[in-house]
A and B are shown apart, each in its own frame.
Chain A
Amino acid sequence: MAYSSMLLRRLGWSVVVLLGLTVVVFVIARMVPGDPARMALGPTASAEQVNQLRSEMGLDQPLPVQYLRFMGGLLRGDLGNSLLTRRPVVNDLRQTFPATLELVLLTVLLMAVTGVPFGILAARNKDGWFDNFARLASLLGVVTPAFFLALLLQLLVGYNVAGIPVLGRLSADLRFTADQTGFMILDGLLAGRMDVVGDAFRHLLLPTIALAAASIGQITRITRSSVLDVSRKDYVEAERAFGLPDWVVTFKYLLRPSAIPTVTILGLEFASLLGNAFLIEMVFSLPGMASYGVRAILQNDFNAVMGTVLVSGVFFVAVNLVVDLVLGFIDPRIRLRGAPA
């Protein structure tokens, strides 16, 4: 019961934040210098044509009106047309977002499966060889820029190890498009094409590692310190004093309280993956939303830019919301009080 009221509060707050996001995006898009209509038509178009397009696009209206038009379109699912591709931005995004999402989801999986156990083991091995190794690896992961790591991986692994491709999403000779869900691996499975699945995996291997590295480092550190923190708490001492076996204390009574910072950081890292995904997609030439967005930015394709930023923002808010809800489930203090102790 406390949980559902918390859920409602969080949901409401997310809506507010999303509204704020639209305002911010709108303002930024309008800051782009130059005349969008002119840019759309090119330098050869006449002034009349430009003006006509301008009024069509509603650029001659006062800003608040433009904002309302923008919001109206948004709610209808219309993000305008891309100046470059001349197609609805929504379609472009629908095509490119799954590729990015696929990369991001694989990365999150890798992060959770590597970072958390590493952190727990490092805590148990405190000051031992594994702990020191884990801390060093985490540090290196955190301080290495993702794009640099991507290049290094290409250099050291991609070019030297056969079978691990350096660029792209799928080998061209396989002749397959992911048109069902947009997820190459999933679509390959659905179509029964295991060669596609394997190939897609191999293409995603280096990008995933490059994208995950920094996050794995953070997660390992936070998990480690959180486990150490909790194991110092009085109640753990008390539980041991009452003769609860070590493994019960570790895997039940230690895990849940220490999961809280870990889930928090997992969520934070997940949500911010999108930023680094931009860089990774550029390096590995993956046809995702990120490279679409970057190209749009460089070419002043502001509808596309707004669309990309909006989707990124929505994704971010959605992930944060899910994380908050999971945390509320784990930690009764959040549920009952609305904030962690």
Chain B
Amino acid sequence: MSLPPTGDALLQGDMTPLPKGGLPSTLKAHQPWRRTLYRFVRNPAAVVGSAIVLLVVFVAVFAPVIATHPGHVGSFVNIRERHQPPSSEHLFGTDQVGRDVFTRVVYGYRVSLLLVLVVLGTAVPVGVVLGLLAGYYGGWVETIIMRVTDVFLAIPVLVMALALTAALTPSLTSAMIALASLWWTWHTRLIFSIVRSLRGEEYVESARLLGANTLHMLFRELLPNCVSAISVKVALDAGFVILIGAGLSFLGLGVRPPTPDLGMMVSDGSRYLPDMWWQSVFPGLAILVAILGFNLLGDGLRDLFDVEVS
């Protein structure tokens, strides 16, 4: 068999040895975090979601600066300006006592985010710790924790939240307590199922054999594996908390007036439909946007981490 013709005369018969490993590759070295960042940026849901979330947070934090009529947040009445449709002066119009809707929406985000921070800030650590304990120890620890969790999970959230909030006299605090006291259950169940599946893994066994103490096991071995699932769930939960919180205040069980609250604004404005539509629609849209942002972020993170979150 004769050699096929090659176009390059230099290569023909050239026996110069090549360096071991071949010629250097043109692709950049792959660092894990770089890769995650690369994938994050390529994921439209994650990008749009985080943009929206950042916007919402920004608006809430800088509310005094962004709002056009900061004075309208407290008890403010200006009957002459009531029920003004959206205009250049009042971007979202005014409500039935003359308050600027845009300002109140902007400040309303503060309440929503505060709710998220408090509820998740308490429920998640509690839920995670309980789930770790139940998953790690098993036995009666697991039985007790998980059975209690199951009972709480058997009750629809909104109904429970309604009952609790009402029982504790409606206010922002009682709404926070009501939601937090239910929310930990989901995280407990999630962490429990992750830890239980990890229990059999070799590196867990070997760490234990090497004499690692319980704290180390829980926080240095098991917890890091849950982080991606937790972050996905937290992002999605934030949206859900806002949703339920808005539902509660829509029914009159949230913040006390005159503090602006998005759900309450929608409820107040509903009396004036369809004519003074802006009173309900803008706060409602604001709620929608916030939930959308967190939801997209959570979805994006889930795709990114390729994680199973129920």
Q: Do any beta carbons of A and B sit within 8 angstroms of each other in the complex?
A: yes
**Residues of A bordering B, CB below 8 Å:** 16-17, 20-21, 24-25, 28-29, 31-33, 139, 142-148, 151-152, 154-155, 159, 271-272, 274-276, 278-279, 282-283, 293-294, 297-298, 300, 305, 308-309, 312-313, 316-317, 320
The distance from the CB of B309 to the nearest CB of chain A, in whole angstroms, is 12
Q: Could you jot down 20 A-B contacts, CB within 8 Å?
A: A20-B154, A28-B163, A31-B164, A31-B168, A32-B166, A32-B167, A139-B296, A143-B288, A146-B247, A148-B266, A148-B280, A152-B284, A159-B274, A274-B158, A282-B250, A294-B162, A297-B162, A305-B163, A313-B156, A317-B154
Complex contact B155–A278 (CB within 8 A): no
Chain B residues within an 8 Å CB radius of A144: 288, 291
Complex contact A309–B247 (CB within 8 A): no
**Chain A residue at minimum C-beta to C-beta distance from B299:** A139
How many residue-residue contacts, CB under 8 A, span A and B? Answer: 137
The distance from the CB of B2 to the nearest CB of chain A, in whole angstroms, is 42
Complex contact B270–A283 (CB within 8 A): yes
Complex contact A143–B157 (CB within 8 A): no
Closest 7 CB pairs of A and B: A275-B158, A20-B151, A297-B166, A148-B284, A31-B167, A143-B291, A143-B292
Q: Is residue B239 contacting chain A, with contact meaning CB distance below 8 A?
A: yes
Complex contact B159–A154 (CB within 8 A): no
Complex contact B247–A279 (CB within 8 A): yes
Given A275-B156, A312-B156, A320-B154, answer yes or no on A139-B167 (Cβ-Cβ < 8 Å): no
Q: Is residue B169 contacting chain A, with contact meaning CB distance below 8 A?
A: yes
Chain A residues within an 8 Å CB radius of B288: 143-145, 148
Complex contact A151–B243 (CB within 8 A): no
Q: Is residue B246 contacting chain A, with contact meaning CB distance below 8 A?
A: yes
Main secondary structure of the interface of B (DSSP, over half): helix
Complex contact B274–A143 (CB within 8 A): no
For B, the interface residue count at a CB cutoff of 8 angstroms equals: 43
Chain B residues within an 8 Å CB radius of A309: 155, 159-160, 163
Given A31-B167, A155-B274, answer yes or no on A275-B253 (Cβ-Cβ < 8 Å): no
The distance from the CB of A281 to the nearest CB of chain B, in whole angstroms, is 11
Complex CA distance for A275 and B163, rounded to whole angstroms: 11
List CB contacts (< 8 Å) of B132-175 with chain A: 147-148, 150-152, 154-160, 162-164, 166-169
The distance from the CB of A317 to the nearest CB of chain B, in whole angstroms, is 6
Complex contact A313–B252 (CB within 8 A): no
Chain B residues within an 8 Å CB radius of A21: 151, 154-155
Chain B residues within an 8 Å CB radius of A159: 273-274
**Chain B residue at minimum C-beta to C-beta distance from A27:** B167
List CB contacts (< 8 Å) of B29-72 with chain A: none
Q: Is residue B277 contacting chain A, with contact meaning CB distance below 8 A?
A: yes
Q: Is residue B251 contacting chain A, with contact meaning CB distance below 8 A?
A: yes
Complex contact A155–B273 (CB within 8 A): yes
**Chain A residue at minimum C-beta to C-beta distance from B150:** A17
Q: Is residue B287 contacting chain A, with contact meaning CB distance below 8 A?
A: yes
Complex contact B250–A28 (CB within 8 A): no
The distance from the CB of B268 to the nearest CB of chain A, in whole angstroms, is 12
Chain A residues within an 8 Å CB radius of B168: 31, 33
Complex contact B151–A151 (CB within 8 A): no
